[in-house]
Amino acid sequence: MKKADGTHIVGIDLGTTYSLVADIQDGAPVVLPNAMGELLTPSAVSVDDDGTILVGTAARARAIRFPESSALSFKRDMGTDRTTMLGGQCFTPVELSGLVLRQLKADAESLLGATISEAVITVPAYFGDAQRQATRDAARLAGLTAERIINEPTAASLAYGFHRRTESACIAVLDLGGGTFDVTILQVTAGVIEALASAGDVRLGGDDFTRVLVEAAAVACQLDLGDRLVASVLFDAAEHLKRALSTRLQASAKVVLADKHLVDLSFTRADIEHHWRPLLARLEAPIRQALLDAHLATAQIDGVLLVGGAARMPCVTELAARLFGRTPKTSLPQDEAVALGAAVQAALKIGDASVEDLVSTDIAPFSLGIAVSEELRRSRVDDIFAPILERGTVLPASRSKVFSTTHPMQTALHIQVFQGEHSVISRNKALGEYFLEGLPPGRINPVEVRFTYDLNGILEVETTVLATGMKKSLIITNGAGRLTAEQLEASRQRLATLKIHPRETLPNRTAIELAESLFASQLGEEREAIGNMLTMFRLALAVEDRERIEVARKQLLAFVSAFKNRETP
């Protein structure tokens, strides 16, 4: 969508496993294909032997053979200080996400023929302040402004409500992606979409189900998962089997390890769902918490909307049907729903005519408060959490509470800001702190602490000494994994010097990486057939005839796809 300054704004689903870009075209949200013509871009980064950076499908394919120089699932580390070494270079989760966003931006700009300056980016509803700020930093590294961060289930509900503006219903959105699980209860009333409650687990997603399958395979075949290459090859095979088991009752695959050891993997859906029981049990807790926070019983829910690629698993559909007593809706493409909703939110942000009768609200995913001490039975107890703005509060919001100094000669206050739900402050997550000095001595001073939280996840804390009117405020912008302005600029300059694989030849490189990964996984006649196809494609590349290269690439990709589809009977 074109903004007033001539640049474009899009919606982006920055996922753990896959990422997507969507736009409003001809009055409706659509997902934009990448350079490969695919709607889903793997959230993967790999560094080649010569230091070239690969992003997307090529990186994910290369990660199977070279896990030590590839990064996957780094979204889970957003908002932390964790780093990843790739090809002798150190990357933060923000930088890795920035590389993915930069690739998405380049692909979308090429398709639209215009500059994209801004994006609405989705995050799990249960992402905290540090993770949301890190997402905004990643956008800046990619050359994007992300003033609006929206919860993934809310985005999915926007995509749903876009086509059902006359309906009135209470909807439970269950979003199971590659790395996170979110539940949001929403009230949809004639174009108004109101979030009532959210809950979730930022460490539970489709990847965890795959890892259980990997562990089961390793035990059955007596394989060492401490070997990163073995673990990587098994993960790829397990992911393929997991998808197959979503449509079949039994699936099998042959896996070739680095020592040319052939492993036969075979699972029934019943067997693997037995292994998945602990994960399925973990899905129930956030669902029940969201219903409790919304003060609703399952009977009061009119519909259940499943989104996220991992929600395709039959066991998830069966769990939702059992808990809510109704068959979940799958009216939206489960992989695309969040991105489509992000595009709708982008349209709302700029007042596009396509959404003039649509309204959406969001809520705070966590309670926010400060550390206090209290006197109980003549003893002072520290480490107490005093919530000021509670989870479920409709945003934007401003809430305040009045506290008092602990003794008459106290002239300063240490304001410590936390998010979480535990009564003990140390069990919650610290967001920031500051000192308020100059309090008048000789009295107990009442002090008002106000939290103002906006739709973009920016928290402002303001403290007012009621006796004097003295104020001091803090905008929460720092924390683990959060870059300072200087660090952000240094990261931007460093990423600008990286050798990125040229976009125009990325489809060719991707085809080679996919075929090479398949070549490494086979033996005998199958390997020879794949090798012949690779040789034919490389001959076409040597001739440098664009038309011939395109035909050969399509033939190679079709061969790889057909071969993979026959792997799992």
Which residues belong to the active site? Answer: 13, 75, 152, 175
Cβ–Cβ < 8 Å for 501, 53 = yes
Q: Where are the alpha helices (DSSP H) in 413-500?
A: 485-497
Residues 6 or more apart from 530 whose CB is under 8 A from it?
515, 518, 519, 522, 559, 560, 563
- Cα separation, 379 vs 107, in Å, equals 63
Cα 362 off chain centre by = 17
What tokens appear for 56 in the block?
A: 């997307």
For the chain, the maximum distance between any two Cα atoms, rounded to a whole number of angstroms, is 90
- Of 556, 411, 565, 566, nearest in space to 36 by CA: 556
Distance CA 569, CA 558 (A): 18
Count Cβ atoms below 10 Å from residue 177 Cβ, excluding itself.
28
Q: Tell me the backbone φ, ψ of residue 39, rounded to 5 degrees.
A: -80, -30
**φ and ψ of 489, to 5 deg:** -65, -40
- Stated as kind and residue range, the H or E segment containing 527 is helix 524-543
Q: Which of 354, 309, 355 is nearest to 332 (CA)?
A: 309
Tokens representing 459 are 């928290």
Q: Taking a C-beta distance cutoff of 8 angstroms, is the pair 351, 111 a contact?
A: no
In angstroms, the first-to-last Cα distance of the chain is 44
Structural tokens at position 201: 């687990």
- Compute the distance between CA of residue 20 and CA of residue 123 in angstroms, rounded to an integer: 13
- Tell the burial category of 149 from Cβ atoms under 10 Å away from its Cβ (0-12, 13-18, 19+): buried
Cis peptide before 328 (omega within 30 of 0): no
CB-count exposure of residue 508 (10 Å: 0-12, 13-18, 19+): buried
DSSP string, 261-282: -EEEEEEEHHHHHHHTHHHHHH
Contact call for residues 41 and 103 (beta carbons, < 8 A): yes
Mark out the alpha helices in 66-192 (DSSP H runs): 93-112, 129-141, 152-162
Q: What is the DSSP string of 367-401?
A: -EEEEEEEEETTEEEEEEEEEEE-TTPEESEEEEE
Helices and strands (DSSP H and E) totals, the chain:
14, 27
Residue 425 burial by CB count (10 A; 0-12/13-18/19+): exposed, middle or buried? buried
